[in-house]
Amino acid sequence: MTKPLHTELPLNPHVAGLPPYNAGMNIADAQQKSGRQDIAALASNENPDGCSPHAAAALVGLSPSRYSDPACMALRAALSQKLGVDTDRIVAGNGSEEMIAAICRAVLRPGTLAATVCPGFGLHEIEALANGARVEKVGMRPDLDFDIPAIIAMLERAPAIFFLSSPSNPVGPALDRKGLARILAAVRHETLLVLDEAYFEFTDEDTPHGLAALSATDLSWVVLRTFSKAYGLAGLRVGYAVTSDVRLARAVSAAKTPFNVNAAAQVAAVAALADESWMRSSVARLKRERARVASAVADMGLSAGRSQTNFLFIDVGRESRIVFDHFLSQGIIVKPWKEEGYDTFIRVTIGTPSENDRFLDALRDLIRT
């Protein structure tokens, strides 16, 4: 029996009208739809190497009956040590995406302006819209790099929040020293700059550290980092926000749920931080593979963003939804891009060498047709 829709119940229109988040297809779904078992999951930028064995070992024997530490003390202390930032300026989240939601809830009001970049990370727009903000987007340049003058022009309008992912998800490049300095010089004191560094660990050696650059300013800012990508803990859900000041950290903390980071995620994140050498060697392998895949893609005559991440954003020159089905039929999940002007692009995660070979074979197949 079909249930009635209860259209007379008033819903929050800001939330009920949200666009869907473009999540990567999950593996079970892909197995069912493709009829294949050997799925190469290359849509969500997870780490194909897994995680540090110390992080995995920390999960063994955990008791699920106790609440987790609502303050995430051990994790925040470890982060404070690593980053040289006081504990009370760090907020841990159920993934950095929860921090995006909490920041929006702490700062935005209906009608205020929030801004970000297009193409961009969906939640930078969705969480702002959920709080009733107006969202405006600055385009990337046609050559797939940041449009610094356009970002500056938007910042001069003093949006309440500017979300900027550097390295960019989905495009891949990171701001260089000069670009970052020009942007920071344009941020007004009425604006919260949120620099999302989900792919920080994959950047080039000479790419500036956002945290250091922002720390040298008197602006209001947040730097977001995550354990989901380089550290390989996506399924546990843990990330964090480093804030410019304690007042902002308190507001973000008040806007999250109290026991937001579960006990397993807290101990695994602490163990992962204590074993950075695992992360660094995995990142080094993935960067080598990224270079190999990028040069094979270039050899096919396709253009792609200059990536400092664990993925590539590739213009395949035909509708990405159809391209998605081509890859899925071969057991490969990619992310078809759906933002206007970019619907011939796919984003593909760097996987294991054999997954990457499968992707490249399927891509060669595609462009021959």
Ligand X SMILES: *Cc1c(COP(=O)(O)O)cnc(C)c1O
Question: Which of 56, 211, 234, 360 touches ligand X (CB under 6 A)?
Answer: 234
220 contacts ligand X (rule: CB under 6 A): no
Which of 200, 324 has the CB closer to ligand X? 200
243 binds ligand X (CB under 6 A): no
For the CB of residue 365, give the shortest distance to ligand X in the complex, in Å.
28
Q: Which stretch binds ligand X (CB under 6 A): 184-192, 226-234, 245-253, 256-264?
A: 226-234
Whether residue 108 contacts residue 127, with contact meaning beta carbons closer than 8 Å, is answered with no
If the CB atoms of residues 121 and 202 are measured against ligand X, the closer one turns out to be 121
**C-beta atoms surrounding 85 within 10 Å:** 17
CB 194, min distance to ligand X, A: 10
Residue nearest ligand X (C-beta atom)? 95
239 scored as a contact of ligand X (CB under 6 A):
yes
Nearer to ligand X, 27 or 234 (CB): 234
Cα–Cα distance measured from residue 128 to residue 132, given in angstroms and rounded to the nearest whole number: 7
Distance CA 303, CA 300 (A): 9
44 vs 87 by CB, closer to ligand X: 44
Does residue 203 touch ligand X according to CB under 6 A? no
Residue 226 interacts with ligand X (CB under 6 A): yes or no: yes
Site for ligand X, residues 153 to 172, rule: CB under 6 A: 165, 169
Cβ-based nearer residue to ligand X, 198 or 366: 198
Find the binding residues for ligand X in span 90-109 (CB under 6 A). 95-97
Per CB under 6 A, the list member of 198, 242, 264, 314 interacting with ligand X is 198
Among 121, 162, 231, 337, binds ligand X (CB under 6 A): 121
CB 342 within 8 A of CB 22: no
Total residues at interface with ligand X (CB under 6 A): 13
- Rule CB under 6 A: which residues touch ligand X? 45, 95-97, 121, 165, 169, 196, 198, 226, 228, 234, 239
